[in-house]
Amino acid sequence: MKTDVLVVGAGPVGLAMAVELARYGLSIRIVDQAPQRTDKSKALVVWSRTLELMDRMGCTASFLAAGFKATAANIVAGTKQIAHITLGGVATPHPYALMIPQCDTERLLEQHLNTYGVHIERNVELTQFAPSETSVVSTLRHAAGQDENLETSWLIGCDGAHSTVRHQLGMEFLGNTLMTDWLLADVHLSGAPNPRDVNVIWHSDGVLVVFPITHDRFRVIADSGDTRPGIERPDPTLQDVQAVLDQRGPGGITVSDPVWLANFHINERKVADYRAGRVFLAGDAAHIHSPAGGQGMNTGIQDACNLAWKIALVSRGACAEEPLLGSYTIERSAVGDQVLKAAGRMTAVAILRGEVRQSIRNHVASLVFGLAPIRSAVANAMTEVAIGYPKSPLSVSSQHISGGPAAGERAPIRAGEIPVGAGNTPRFVVFAEPNEQFSHLIARFPDLLDAIIRKPFHDHGLWLIRPDGYTALATKQGHWDEVSAFLNRIATPHPA
Ligand SMILES: Cc1cc2nc3c(=O)[nH]c(=O)nc-3n(C[C@H](O)[C@H](O)[C@H](O)COP(=O)(O)OP(=O)(O)OC[C@H]3O[C@@H](n4cnc5c(N)ncnc54)[C@H](O)[C@@H]3O)c2cc1C
């Protein structure tokens, strides 16, 4: 039997993709050229929206058991507090940032994948592939050097920033590399202020960010000077980390027991199209940016959650390829652009040079962050619950319905409700008052529509929610013809 999907790369994005596809019953293979998973803590933050999506995948509990909840972020300039942004007010079952090293995220996702009987094939490298109208034939080089040709319906490149899949598609990775060096240290600290919060310190010499990992382990990031072309700055020493903490921090912090010390550069790049026929890109293969805001891995995992249900519905013959598969680039490329812009802006503001400009920045920022609606908007953006797809061909709104989500918006998650999209079949869910029209639709679209109707968000509305929890359709109560038209538009046409 032909394998449905080859996932290339078993980083967090490839793993999330494989979990989602396996959950939906597709036959998949996932390969990684590396002999083992990373032992580095790289992406530390799992944001609320990613945790909500993991609720659907059924693996949040293991993350919560292994992670550390940070509930606020502070920005300080000198001794002045510029901002205190709390996450407790965000309308989500997970109003916090879950701090968990990427090596643990990968371990937990791999364990979850194994429960579906799927295992990562390590020491296996994708070297080339040949796509056609109906399939993709990939060449996999195994450890002993032998090549295997594998034919699959779809190929998904989750193969990171240096993606082979992207290179072979000839897609440009447009953007630039910032000419600043950065220090990264995963260390133990004593005397850290606000040890449960993310702390950003704007110092006249640069920025210092301290993230909690556990009660005594922290991630320290600081800009360490201009990049000198052709000269690679050595990784920092523990003394360098202590020096930057002494210079830019509030004092009294002592560093010890380094876990990881590194010098790194920031790239800001993205492809224009996340798809070429039967080949897709997701995660760092499609977009890389400043770690400011901690959105990189989260954005990639959410790429996976966006694409997997679409491929599953098309593979099962329930939906036509268009508009479903075409919507992947439209939706996720727009999010990639936003993340790139926001992370770039945050980085530029943090490393602003010059006394006058810094004092204007500090003044404006403390005014802006003094406003509660701004703090709330920032918290919603950071936790990624504000992400939506208003411009998607899958978002339809003929009416403005107050009291519920607009088309493209994430549907509110009500306490005690099973997450939309949980289970092994991706189906749309109707939120409306029950009606006999609903039974007709269930009979017509058994592969697309969940048989259980849920209470509407508001008396006068009718909502159709996608398997990934975003609103496909928001209309007035009783407008069942719009639900029917929507499902008709995406369903596989029946032979006349
Ligand atoms: C210092 C640092 C801090 C960061 N902090 C954050 C943060 O706080 N929050 C956040 O969200 N993000 C953060 N990120 C970004 C995050 O680490 C990445 O976005 C994330 O690793 C991307 O995951 P991925 O699965 O797309 O790619 P990767 O993790 O790069 O995985 C790609 C995999 O593909 C494999 N591969 C590559 N080519 C092939 C091939 N031809 N055949 C087979 N296998 C192949 C590789 O071996 C690798 O395992 C940070 C990154 C760094 C470096």
Q: What is the pLDDT of residue 402?
A: 85
- Please report the pLDDT score of residue 495 as a whole number: 58
> Distance between CA atoms of 50 and 385, rounded to whole angstroms?
9
Measured CA angle at 316 (ends 313, 317), to 5 deg = 90
Å from CA of 281 to ligand 1 middle: 13
Phi, psi of 282 (to 5 degrees): -150, 155
Find the 12 Cα to ligand 1 centroid distance in Å.
7
Q: Does any ligand 1 atom lie closer than 6 A to the CB of residue 293?
A: no
- Rounded to the nearest angstrom, the distance between the alpha carbon of 97 and the centre of ligand 1 is 19
CB 154 within 8 A of CB 136: yes
Look at residue 364 and tell me whether its pLDDT is greater than 90. Answer: yes
pLDDT tens readout for residues 234-250:
999 999 999 999 999 99
266-306 pLDDT, tens digit each: 999 999 999 999 999 999 999 998 888 789 999 999 999 99
Q: Under a CB-based contact definition with an 8 Å cutoff, are residues 362 and 82 in contact? A: yes
Please work out whether the CB of residue 136 comes within 6 Å of at least one atom of ligand 1.
Answer: no
Residue 12 — pLDDT band, cuts 50, 70, 90? very high
**Ligand 1 pocket, 43 CB below 6 A?**
yes
Q: Which atom of ligand 1 is nearest to the CA of 221?
A: 1
Query: What distance in Å separates the CA atoms of residue 168 and residue 157, rounded to the nearest whole number?
Result: 11
- Whether pLDDT at 358 is above 90: yes
> What integer pLDDT is reported at residue 456 of this predicted model?
95
Is the pLDDT at 383 greater than 70? The verdict is yes
Q: For ligand 1, what atom is nearest to the CA of residue 298?
A: 11
Say yes or no: CB of residue 17 within 6 Å of ligand 1.
Answer: no
CB of 405 within 6 A of ligand 1: the answer is no
% the chain with pLDDT above 70: 100
Mean pLDDT of the chain: 95
Peptide linkage before 323 cis (omega within 30 of 0):
yes
- Ligand 1 centroid – CA 25 distance (Å): 26
Report the separation in Å between the CA atom of 290 and the middle of ligand 1, taken as the mean of its atom positions.
Answer: 13
Residue that the structure tokens 């790049």 belong to: 269
Average pLDDT over residues 331-338: 96
pTM for this prediction: 0.96
Name the closest-CA residue to atom 13, ligand 1.
Answer: 43
Please, what are the domains in the chain? 3-39+101-174+268-348 (3.50.50.60), 179-265 (3.30.70.2450), 396-490 (3.40.30.120)
CA-to-CA distance for 307 and 284, rounded, in angstroms? 15
Q: Best of 166, 284, 347 to mutate for ligand 1, by most ligand atoms within 8 A of CB? A: 284
Q: Is 55 exposed, middle or buried (0-12, 13-18, 19+ CB in 10 A)?
A: buried
Task: Give the contacts of 316 (CB within 8 A, at least 6 positions apart).
Answer: 25, 447
Taking the centre of ligand 1 as the mean of its atom positions, its distance from the CA of residue 153, in whole angstroms, is 25
